[in-house]
């Protein structure tokens, strides 16, 4: 079988791709080729040569002991080490320190043979994951895993599991005494649940999930080396021995929404960069590309070409006239801009940058490490121009994230052709969502885009292509040209000394640098500027728009209708849950404020109106009496408790329109708006409804409305217009009972008294 697999791996008729195919098609094609060469049930018994040949067919490298993931298949973040994994080295790194020092280089010791066996076991397992039904999720069950998922397992989970197996096998003297025994010995069968107690909760959950996958493959008959426990282990309380200490609870740093004034300031600055500075930078970029083409001379040294380019770029910048979108020249931006420092760095600085990039992915980067310098307008050097282009990219990123509320992985995955226009001329962003843990290749979804976000993406496409063509000032004549145009939308320029041809990964560090460049706080609201805070910010804004003022979001996104604003947000189920949570909290907060204001007035409703005002006052009095009967003092906790009761923990108290609150309990109470016990209908809210509560600031409007209605009533009466007369009489009657003190004020008016007499006589 080994010769059959090797021949298939070298067969150009099998490996050649005559037609251009998509990533998923190419992955599936490699799997199908492997299935034609060997049945799945034999993979776990293969030797090193056979499994290596099968691994090569799957396009994961020909060298045994290394797991290669093609860059074109990579969908997740990570360095070069995760794309070409040294399996033996990864397993060795997880061994206890004393075993790492004992491991000889000659490969003749028992420990070395155990590590070799672990490498073979992991290689078999990874090949099986690519070929067999290894997915655990409901949607992906019976499917093979995506290469990005396999890469994660190869780098993190399996090396740790197998290292524990190697350590246990070393203590078992009967295990692997000869090379012949390696064909029948099983490493994973030695593992017990207690072997993983020292792991963190997160690592333990990931490990047990992989153990569950191993058990599933064993049930299918594709794997026979199975741990003695499963993923769902019953916890048995120990009755003897010392008490088991509970691990300390992990403090979760919850992502906070960005403050309103912060979003407003950064939004204004970002829009100026996009609308006014962007066209200037793209025009200069095009001219620099022409300079690069005209100055490239193979007869000159690279340094000589660089010197000519520098002089021409400086002259270009010196003579450029900066104009806004209207064509009017401007002397400087309306706000101060700082630029990240560029230049050579020491070895220590490069190591620091690598550590900072790792922290940036976790959202905990130290903003003090990012150095900036003031820009004296206009920019006078190539480096300053590149930094401005980096700021322009981040302005695009800010607008797109505020429009889509996408997760970090979703934002990074956007491609240059992601904008689509449907028949209704509404722009959409086509991208992938990676929320499902078992499907690292993601699922396609669409985000509806406001016009500004569509413009930002389209301008970003031009920008990233321009930057790729510019490259560096010093020509790199040994650089191989890419076989096809890259598709990533966000590039690594503008964040220190970066490779502009690679996709952007550290969003946290990039956003921190952007905030510093705009002279803004890098930790707004006391928390680092993270990409996930965009989701929380949009969730809060939408919650405010739903329960208070739709104009808020319409102004932020420049929409013509609130339906367009809410549509692309509410399509995300997770975000919708966040919005509902904030909405409930806001309803409880509004009820707490109302109760607190009514408590201040012993005998009055403190300016509130509507039939529900007196009902609410009665409820407050009853709750206070009940609190005193229990021997407790009325305080802030009592107000909060009553607010949750009156709002059904945030489900009731719907904001009908500014100043009007419906206190109706959905499902238990009915009203004139819908004649049923369902949810209230704001469009049919009636002033005489017993559930209607009106806020004090409407008193002046109601008082003025009654005054105007009386004036119009008298005019209609003088003109003998009976229909108009009846209309204004109805308006007076509807406004008169909204506030008790206003009713008392106008009840002495002759016209109102006459209307009241007419009503009494009619009754």
- Write the burial class of residue 614 (CB in 10 Å: 0-12 exposed, 13-18 middle, 19+ buried): middle
* β-sheet bridge partners, residue 323: 329
Distance in angstroms (rounded) separating the CA atoms of residues 637 and 153: 49
- Kindly report, residue by residue over 90-148, the tens digit of the pLDDT: 999 888 888 888 776 555 678 888 888 889 999 999 999 999 888 887 665 668 888 88
Which of the 8 DSSP states describes residue 688?
T
What distances in angstroms separate CA 294 from CA 174, 382, 469, one per listed residue? 73, 17, 14
The reported pLDDT for the residue numbered 148 is 87
Q: How far is CA 210 from the centre of its chain?
A: 26
Residues 379, 386: Cα–Cα separation, whole Å: 10
Of the candidate ranges 1-5, 371-375, 686-690, the one whose mean pLDDT is the lowest: 1-5
The predicted model gives 744-753 an average pLDDT of 87
- For the stretch 45-96, pLDDT in tens is 888 889 999 999 999 998 898 999 888 887 765 566 788 889 999 999 888 8
Which has the higher per-residue pLDDT, 539 or 225? 225
Closest C-alpha among 498, 280, 265 to residue 389 = 280
Residues facing residue 373 across a β-bridge: 339
Mean pLDDT over each residue of the chain, to the nearest integer: 79
| Least confident residue range of 3-12, 160-169, 614-623 | 3-12
CB 190 within 8 A of CB 169: yes
What local confidence, expressed as pLDDT, does residue 349 receive? 41
Whole-angstrom distance, CA of residue 202 vs CA of residue 451: 41
**DSSP string of 254-287?**
---PPPHHHHHHHHHHHHHIIIIIHHHHHHHHHH
Cβ atoms of 341 and 372 within 8 Å: the answer is: yes
Pairwise CA distance, residues 612 & 599, whole Å: 15
Average pLDDT over residues 380-395: 92
**CA-CA distances (angstroms) from residue 625 to 85, 615, 620?**
71, 16, 9
Q: How far apart are CA 740 and CA 53, in angstroms?
A: 88
pTM exceeds 0.85 for this model: no
pLDDT in tens, 336-369: 998 875 444 434 344 444 444 444 443 444 445 5
More confident residue, 536 or 165: 165
Supply the pLDDT for residue 556: 45
What's the Cα-to-Cα distance from 132 to each of 33, 241, 436, rounded to whole Å? Answer: 13, 44, 20
Residue 76: count of CB within 10 angstroms of its CB = 20
pLDDT of 333 over the 90 cut: yes
- Per-position DSSP letters for 164-225, written without gaps between them: HHHHHHHH-TTSS-STGGGGT--SGGG--GGGGTTS-HHHHHHHHHHHHHHHHHHHHTS---
**H helix count then E strand count, the chain:** 29, 10
Per-residue model confidence as pLDDT tens digits over 651-696: 788 878 888 888 888 777 777 887 766 777 777 888 888 888 888 8
Question: Strand, coil or helix: what is 433?
Answer: strand
Looking at the chain, the whole-number percentage of residues with pLDDT higher than 90 is 19
Looking at residue 336, its pLDDT comes to 92
Q: Does 762 score more than 90 pLDDT? A: no
Segment 268-283 shows an average pLDDT of 95
Q: Which of 647, 646, 603 minimizes the C-alpha distance to 623?
A: 646
| Beta pairing partners, 339 | 373
**Helix axes 158-171 and 201-220, enclosed angle (nearest 10):** 80
Given a contact cutoff of 8 angstroms between Cβ atoms, the answer to whether 131 and 34 are in contact is yes
Q: Is 467 exposed, middle or buried (0-12, 13-18, 19+ CB in 10 A)?
A: buried
| pLDDT of 500 above 90 | no
Question: 660-662 and 654-657 as β-strands: parallel, antiparallel, unpaired?
Answer: antiparallel
- Average pLDDT on 322-337 reads 92
**pLDDT by residue (tens digit) across 537-568?**
887 777 666 555 455 555 544 455 666 556 54
Name 447's bridge partners: 429
Q: Tell me, what's the pLDDT at 670?
A: 77
As a whole number of angstroms, the distance between CA 634 and CA 628 comes to 7
Residue 570 pLDDT: 59
Residue 591 has pLDDT above 50, yes or no: yes
- Separation CA 108–CA 130 (nearest Å): 32
């Amino acid at each position: 079988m080994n010769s059959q697999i090797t021949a298939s791996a070298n067969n150009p008729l099998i490996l050649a791709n005559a037609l251009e195919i998509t990533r998923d098609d190419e992955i599936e094609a490699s799997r199908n080729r492997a299935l034609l060469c060997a049945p799945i049930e034999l993979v776990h018994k293969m030797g090193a040569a056979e499994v290596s040949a099968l691994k090569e067919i799957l396009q994961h490298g020909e060298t045994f002991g290394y797991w290669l993931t093609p860059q074109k298949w990579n969908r997740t973040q990570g360095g070069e080490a995760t794309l070409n994994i040294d399996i033996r080295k990864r397993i060795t790194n997880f061994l206890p320190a004393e075993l790492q020092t004992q491991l000889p280089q000659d490969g003749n010791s028992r420990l070395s043979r155990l590590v070799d066996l672990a490498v073979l076991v992991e290689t078999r397992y990874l090949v099986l994951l690519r070929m067999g039904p290894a997915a655990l999720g409901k949607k992906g069950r019976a499917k093979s895993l995506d290469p990005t998922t396999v890469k994660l397992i190869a780098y993190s989970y399996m090396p740790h599991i197998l290292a524990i197996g190697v350590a246990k096998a070393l203590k078992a003297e009967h295990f692997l005494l000869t090379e012949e025994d390696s064909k029948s010995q099983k490493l994973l069968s030695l593992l017990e649940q207690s072997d993983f107690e020292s792991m963190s909760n997160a690592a333990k959950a990931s490990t047990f999930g992989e153990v569950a996958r191993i058990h599933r493959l064993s049930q299918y008959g594709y794997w026979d080396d199975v741990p003695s426990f499963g993923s769902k282990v019953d916890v048995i309380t120990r009755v003897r021995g010392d008490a088991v200490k509970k691990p300390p609870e992990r403090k979760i740093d919850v992502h906070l929404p960005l403050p309103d004034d912060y979003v407003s300031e950064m939004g204004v600055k970002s829009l100026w960069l996009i609308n006014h500075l962007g066209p200037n930078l793209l025009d200069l970029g095009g001219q620099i590309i022409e300079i690069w083409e005209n100055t490239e001379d193979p007869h000159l040294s690279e340094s000589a070409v660089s010197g000519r380019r520098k002089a021409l770029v400086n002259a270009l910048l010196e003579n450029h006239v900066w104009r806004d979108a209207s064509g009017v020249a401007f002397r400087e931006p309306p706000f101060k801009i700082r630029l990240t420092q560029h230049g050579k760095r020491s070895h220590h600085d490069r190591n620091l940058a690598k550590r900072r990039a790792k922290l940036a992915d976790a959202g905990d980067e130290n903003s003090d490490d990012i150095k900036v310098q003031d820009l004296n307008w206009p920019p006078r050097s190539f480096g300053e121009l590149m930094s401005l282009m980096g700021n322009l990219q981040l302005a695009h990123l800010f607008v797109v994230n505020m429009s889509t509320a996408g997760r970090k992985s979703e934002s990074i995955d956007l491609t240059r052709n992601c904008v689509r226009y449907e028949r209704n001329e509404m722009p959409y962003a086509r991208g992938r969502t990676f929320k499902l843990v078992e499907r690292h290749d993601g699922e396609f979804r669409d985000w509806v885009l406001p016009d500004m976000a569509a413009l930002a993406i389209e301008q970003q496409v031009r920008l990233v292509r321009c930057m790729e063509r510019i490259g560096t000032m010093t020509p790199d004549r040994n650089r191989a040209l890419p076989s096809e145009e890259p598709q990533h939308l966000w590039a690594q320029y503008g964040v220190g000394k970066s490779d502009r041809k690679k996709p952007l990964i550290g969003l946290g560090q990039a956003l921190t640098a952007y905030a510093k460049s705009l002279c803004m706080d890098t930790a707004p609201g006391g928390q680092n500027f993270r990409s996930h805070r965009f989701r929380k910010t949009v969730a809060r804004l939408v919650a405010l728009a739903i329960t208070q003022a739709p104009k808020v979001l319409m102004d932020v996104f420049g929409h013509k209708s609130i339906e367009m604003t809410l549509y692309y947000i509410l399509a995300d189920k997770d975000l919708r849950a966040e919005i509902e949570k904030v909405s409930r909290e806001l309803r409880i907060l509004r009820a707490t404020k109302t109760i607190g204001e009514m408590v201040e007035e012993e005998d009055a409703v403190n300016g509130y109106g509507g039939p529900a005002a007196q009902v609410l006052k009665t409820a407050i009095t009853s709750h206070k009496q009940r609190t005193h009967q229990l021997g407790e003092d009325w305080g802030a906790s009592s107000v909060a408790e009553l607010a949750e009761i009156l709002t059904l923990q945030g489900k009731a108290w719907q904001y009908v329109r500014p100043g009007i609150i419906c206190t109706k309990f959905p499902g238990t109470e009915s009203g004139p708006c819908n004649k049923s016990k369902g949810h209230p209908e704001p469009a049919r809210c009636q002033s005489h409804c017993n559930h209607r509560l009106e806020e004090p600031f409407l008193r002046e409007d109601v008082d003025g409305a009654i005054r105007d209605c009386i004036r119009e009533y008298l005019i209609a009466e003088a003109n003998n217009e009976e229909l108009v007369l009846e209309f204004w009489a109805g308006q007076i009657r509807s406004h008169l009972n909204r506030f008790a003190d206003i009713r008392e004020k106008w009840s002495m008016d002759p016209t109102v008294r006459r209307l009241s007499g007419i009503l009494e006589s009619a009754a």
